[in-house]
Every structure is written in C-alpha cells, then in structure tokens.
Structure 1
Amino acid sequence: MSFTVDRLVFGPRDVDLSRSPLASKLGAETYVLGAFNPGMTRLPNGNLLLMVRVAEALRTPIAGGHIHAIRSEGDGYVLDAWPLDFVDTSDPRKFMMRGGGWKVMALTSLSWLLPVELSADGRGVVAVHYDRAVTPRAPYQCYGVEDARISRVGGRYLMTTCSVSPERHSTTLYSSEDAIDWMLEGIVLDHQNKDMLIFEGLIGDKHWAQTRPLGDLYFAYPPGSEWRAGPSINLASSPDALHWKPFDKPGIRPHSATVATARMGGGAPPVLTDDGWLSLWHGVEPLGVVGIYRTYWSLLDRDDPSQVVRSSHGPLIEPAPALTEPLKDLMYIDNVVFTTGIADAGDHYIVASGEADLACRITHVPKTVFA
C-alpha cells in the first residue's frame, strides 16, 4: 500500500545514553538495542508525544563463561550472571533457561520509556524529554517497563505498559493530566496478559479494553470452524480503569483460512469513527524464531465491541526493509512491524509503529482505506 508519509522518525542513534536512567549506575558499557514500539497521543499543545521503548543492553553480555542480565534494584541497577551451559541464546532479545520443566527466560536488555515530542503532523522531532522518562519503580518492574499504549478518555490520559519481573509479567497502568508527568497506578492485569488497549472513550458508563492473555495451552475449535485456536484479542470492562472484568463474549480471533494471523494481539487503542470503533491489531505468521508481524484493522460495533462490523483480510502495514536500510548494521531481526499508536489528523490517521524492534515508524493512512 502506498502512503503519503511513511518514515522512521526516531531510532537507536537518536538516544543520548549519557542521559539514560542507567548512566553511571551499572559499571558496564551499554548500547541501545532498540528504540521502538512507541505509545502515541496528542498533547494539549497540539504536538504528538511518543513514549518510546528504549531497550538498553550490555555491550558485552557474555564474559567469564556467563551471560549477564540487567536488573533494577532499589534506586540502582545490578547485573545477574547465568552459566552459559544453562541457557539457550538463539533469540537475540532473550535467553531461555534449560531444564526446569517449563519455560523460564531472561532478557538481554532492560527497557524504559522515553518521551519524544513530535510536530503535530508527526514528521519530525521537536524535543526529547529525558527528565520525564518512565523507569522501573516497583519490584514487579525489575526487568523493565515495555510497550506503552496511550488513550485519552474524558480529558485524562491513561497509559498501559508491560512490567517484567520474576514475580509476574503483568500489565500496569499510569495516569496523567498532561501526558508528560505520569503517576504509576499499579498492576491492572496479572501474569502474561499483554497488549492491553483502553478504548478512547466510554461505552455506556464503563471503560473498555482489548486484552491478550497468553499461555502454552489452547483448546481446539471444532473441525471445520472458521476460527483457529491460539492467542486472540479478548475484551474487558471497568468502572474506573483500575478494576477489570473479562467480557463473556470473545473479541477478534484468528481465522483458520490463513496462517498470516495465526497469532494476534492488539496494536493501537481503538478510536471511535462514524462506523464504529477502529481497531488496528497485529497478526503474526510463523516463520523462524520470531515470525512475520503485520498490521491489520477491524471495525467494531460502537455499543458491543465483540461484534466485528468489517475487517481487513490483507495487511494494512507491512515490514518495510527499505526504511531500515540505513540502520542495517544495527539490525538483529527483520520482518516485524508492530503498531502501537494512532492519532486523528483530519482526512487521515497518523499511525505509530515499531519497525524491526529497532526504530519508530510514522505512517499517514487515509481514512478512505477503512470505508
């Protein structure tokens, strides 16, 4: 698909590590593995704000027969060492512990969120607010804060993030009056429920959200079903955005007719249009270690978001190797575009994505695409 604007606006080389929250606290050299998956919203001044996930990794993670991981502890950061013969390092983003009877992993980086202010059209950076970075603050965030999604509901900004720790892989909520100063509200969804997207508006008198619980076991649909068993997009509602009840009906599910969306999850927070709630989501086609990530869209009924009004069968946004060509020396995976934000811009939407788990991509998508 051809877009009027489709570019990378922020990447690893744009991060000043001398202003990182880890600077002078670790005793080891780090680098930016990726600056990607940005939550996005429009600020009161009209500019756009990206909350960029900065994955900061050790320059030399393997030393002395061990691989090391960064962990937040108190007001500082420490290194944990794991024997190499105890781990599998085939995925550059993480390493898996061998044995134990179930999957246990650690990360090769620690993530924090960097506020990056863009012009109103999203074409360029206006300011980078290092002094407002969102960093681990609680034990359940000791391995990092990841993948922000921002919704504005009733003049209040709500930001969901994934918080990572040995305790749990949970969804946490932040709130703000101006999208610059964020208050941690705490855990709102428990272990391995990722990609929580709060609808930008109430349905009835309740907040609604898309969720995506993960697991190692899924029950098969009956033979001949149009649906495929596996990770899907569920729904939940809340009276206050803090206490969430899963909705009885399923949300968006992978179709059995294609493997392109065999695994799926939420992308940008749903926004209300004349035809219903516009939901951008990601589908993952199995391939190699990571798979191919693409962005798709669905329109959901304005009163019952479990009902899909219409949906795309082809991808809206696909991985773009030409965009990352100038960064090819920094790349460690490919075939990934991961949409995380949307903003109204009149006759088009401004869509924010992470490209190749490396950089932030801005795409202008005409509204006529969804007609």
Structure 2
Amino acid sequence: MTPLHVDLARSPLAGQLDAETYVLGAFNPGMTRLANGNLLLMVRVAEALREPVRDGKVHAIRWVDGRYVLDGWPLALADTADPRKFLLHGGGWKVMALTSLSWLLPVELTPDGSEIVSIHYDRAIAPQGSWQCYGVEDARISKVGDTYWMTTCSVSPERHSTTLYRSGDALEWKFEGIVLDHQNKDMLIFEGLIGGEYWAQTRPLGDLYFAYPPDSEWRAGPSINLASSPDGLHWKPRLECGIRPHAATAHTARMGGGAPPILTEIAGRRGWLSLWHGVEPKEIVGIYRTYWSLLDEHEPWRCLATSHTPLIEPAPELTRPLDELLYVRDVVFTAGIADAGDHFIVASGEADLCCRITHLPNDALIL
C-alpha cells in the first residue's frame, strides 16, 4: 500500500481547500483479522499541502466546525528543517505545527496480506472535534473477546491525547472519547484479559527524565509502561514497570510500543508477544527498528525474554521504486500483528511512506 493507491478525490478533505494536496505518506497501519478471514489495515493517510510556503508564510491544515481551513505563520517564526512539521519560535515553549493532516483509511487485504481486496473510503475516520483538529494518527487495533478496540493519537493545540474507538466488526467504529489526556503516542491494548481486567502498554512522553544510577542497566528516557482497566474505557497506570530502554545499546535511545501484545507460545514458553520499536539516533529522525519481548502471561511486567537483535529492519529495496517520494529513510514502524499458525503476519509503516507486510516464521523468535 503506497501513496499512489490513495484516491484523494475520495478524501474527507476533498474540495474544501483552496490549495492542492498530495499524499505525503500512507503508513503505520493498525491491523486485525475480519470475520471473513481477510486482514484489515487501518492506514494513516498524511495529506499534505503541495506548496505549504506561499506569500511569506508556512501553512498547516486544521479542522474546525466540520470543515477544513488553512492557517499561516510568518516564515521568520518557523523552523522548517523537518519535512513533517515545523517549529514555531518565540512562544517560550516548544511549539510545532504539521505540514499534513492525517486521517485513517480502512484497507482490506487477502488473508495472507499479499493483495488489496478493497479500500473502504466510505468508512474512513477523520477529525470530528477540536481535540483532533490537526489529525488522527497511528491506529492500533486489538480484539478482546468479540469486540474490536482501536486506539489512535489525536493531535490538537488543546492536547496530544489518546482516543478510543470500539466496533463489533472492525469496519463500523464508534468513538468512545479520550482515554489518556497527555502526550502518549503508543497505547496498545492486550488481546485478552488478565485477571479479569483489560491491560495496555502506554508510552508517555516529556522533555525531562530522571537519571538511573550510573551502573544501572537501564537508560533514562521514554519507556513502555503499563495500565489496566475494568471496562476498557477508564485506565489507571500500574505501579509495576514495563519495558525500559537498555543502557548498553544506542538502539533504544528512544522506544515505544509497536503491535498490540498477543498471547502465544515461543519455544515452549507461553506469554504475551510484544513487538516494539527502538530508535538509534541519526540525523533528525533516527533509525527505527522492530524488536520483541515475551511477557509473563499473568504478570505482564515480568519479561521472560527480550531481543537485543532487531527482528525487522528498514528495507530500502522496498521503497526504491518510490525513491522520488521519500522524505525520510531508515524507518520501519510496526503497528500490527496476526497469528497465522506457523508464522506471524506483521504490518509496519516503511519510511513513513507506505505499508509493509512481513511474514515471520515462528522460529525467527528465539529465546
């Protein structure tokens, strides 16, 4: 799935802006299996202005009162080094705006994920309130019992929150509101209850982290935390730690959850398989890779095994035919997984540009 597959004539923004837009990326897909056996990707479509800079201003798209408008800031106030966003100076805080607005597009695939069956434009999810006026990003889908739960990141000046949708078929979604009222890019609901409760991985962000002792095996910075809920709607952080970045490797200088944890067996040990991303610093964005951990079935804060070797790495050969569209490199961002018996099907974003399917044989996960 690439930007070339997206028909912007059927976009939620179509015909509303006095400016040309294009698909900056169709990427970071949440994934689940439908009742008919097909796979569903919930693809993040980042729709960007073809010419964001004009008349001495840099512009962004914003939803307001059911329509889309353009906002412009003087170039003198903006740092546009990152093609995905621009920083605004002079406010006393780190303030940014986006060069694109994201919405979610359901894409149905064959059971093995190798072909597109249908693109459901009529079921696209777009901003519907001021809390997501700059877009809806990075869906993660979990099936618990007969219900599908989808977390998304909603972006606005009000807050950078996690929003929740619920469905009985993964096609018709009901908005359930904000569940985490702070910047948290990676909330992943476990695909099953633990002790009768819903559990989730979270990843709060901030600009200040306190140091571990000098001889600690852990590195200060973003980590994967845990939360639980009696009903899937009201979440409380757990006291127990989740997955933390290791001091011994630069590959986890930044980390976050990838695919929702699924209950499986690896080398005779049963637990929650968690795929997560680790980032090695490089230039502006860094190098994103996918790693894995196996968490205890009953006490998911206990890590039974973890990989220090990447499970999935960026694959430049996949995007080489789209080289003229690339704006970042060295990024694979995993967001979905499905158990296919003797292998796992993994959905990832590649280079913040397109969607990638990877088949992982079970023996790729070695304890």
Same fold, judged at TM 0.5 (above): yes
Q: Does 1:148 align with 2:143?
A: no
1:74 Cα deviation (Å)? 1.4
Matched to 1:59, the amino acid is R
Deviations 1:296-352 (A, max 9, x none): 000000001100000111000000000000000000000000000000111000000
Partner Cα separation in structure 1 for residue 316 and residue 94 of structure 2: 32
2:127 aligned partner: 136
1:108 aligned partner: 99
Residue aligned with 1:143, SS: coil
The structure 2 residue matched to 1:244, chosen from 235, 249, 253, is 235
Partner Cα separation in structure 1 for residue 287 and residue 93 of structure 2: 25
1:362 aligned partner: 357
The structure 2 residue matched to 1:309, chosen from 304, 325, 335, is 304
1:162 aligned partner: 153
Partner Cα separation in structure 2 for residue 99 and residue 293 of structure 1: 31
The structure 1 residue matched to 2:66, chosen from 58, 62, 75, is 75
The structure 2 residue matched to 1:220, chosen from 198, 211, 228, is 211
Q: Equivalent residues in 2 for 1:1-371 (5 A)?
A: 10-274=1-265, 275-371=270-366
Residue aligned with 1:231, SS: coil
Partner Cα separation in structure 2 for residue 23 and residue 75 of structure 1: 13
Partner Cα separation in structure 1 for residue 52 and residue 146 of structure 2: 44
- TM-score of the superposition, structure 2-length normalised? 0.98
Residue aligned with 1:53, SS: strand
1:138 Cα deviation (Å)? 1.2
1:369 Cα deviation (Å)? 1.9
Q: Which runs of 5+ in 1 are unaligned?
A: 1-9
1:7 aligned partner: none
Matched to 2:172, the amino acid is D
Partner Cα separation in structure 1 for residue 66 and residue 207 of structure 2: 35
Matched to 2:210, the amino acid is F
Residue aligned with 2:317, SS: helix
Partner Cα separation in structure 1 for residue 363 and residue 215 of structure 2: 34
Residue aligned with 2:76, SS: helix
Partner Cα separation in structure 2 for residue 107 and residue 227 of structure 1: 33
Residue aligned with 1:85, SS: helix
Higher relative contact order (CA 8 A, sep 6+): 1
Partner Cα separation in structure 1 for residue 292 and residue 53 of structure 2: 41
Partner Cα separation in structure 2 for residue 45 and residue 273 of structure 1: 22
Runs of 4+ displaced beyond 2 Å? none
Q: Aligned residues: percent identity?
A: 73
Residue aligned with 1:349, SS: strand
1:289 Cα deviation (Å)? 0.4
- TM-score of the superposition, structure 1-length normalised? 0.97
Matched to 1:295, the amino acid is T
Deviations 1:178-221 (A, max 9, x none): 00011110000012012000000000110000000000000000
Deviations 1:93-144 (A, max 9, x none): 0000112222100000000000000000000100000000000011101000
Q: Which runs of 5+ in 2 are unaligned?
A: none
Matched to 1:49, the amino acid is L
Query: How many equivalent residue pairs?
Result: 362
Residue aligned with 2:82, SS: coil
Residue aligned with 1:260, SS: helix
Residue aligned with 1:193, SS: coil
Partner Cα separation in structure 2 for residue 87 and residue 240 of structure 1: 43
1:370 Cα deviation (Å)? 2.0
Partner Cα separation in structure 1 for residue 180 and residue 226 of structure 2: 12
Partner Cα separation in structure 2 for residue 214 and residue 138 of structure 1: 23
Partner Cα separation in structure 1 for residue 362 and residue 165 of structure 2: 30
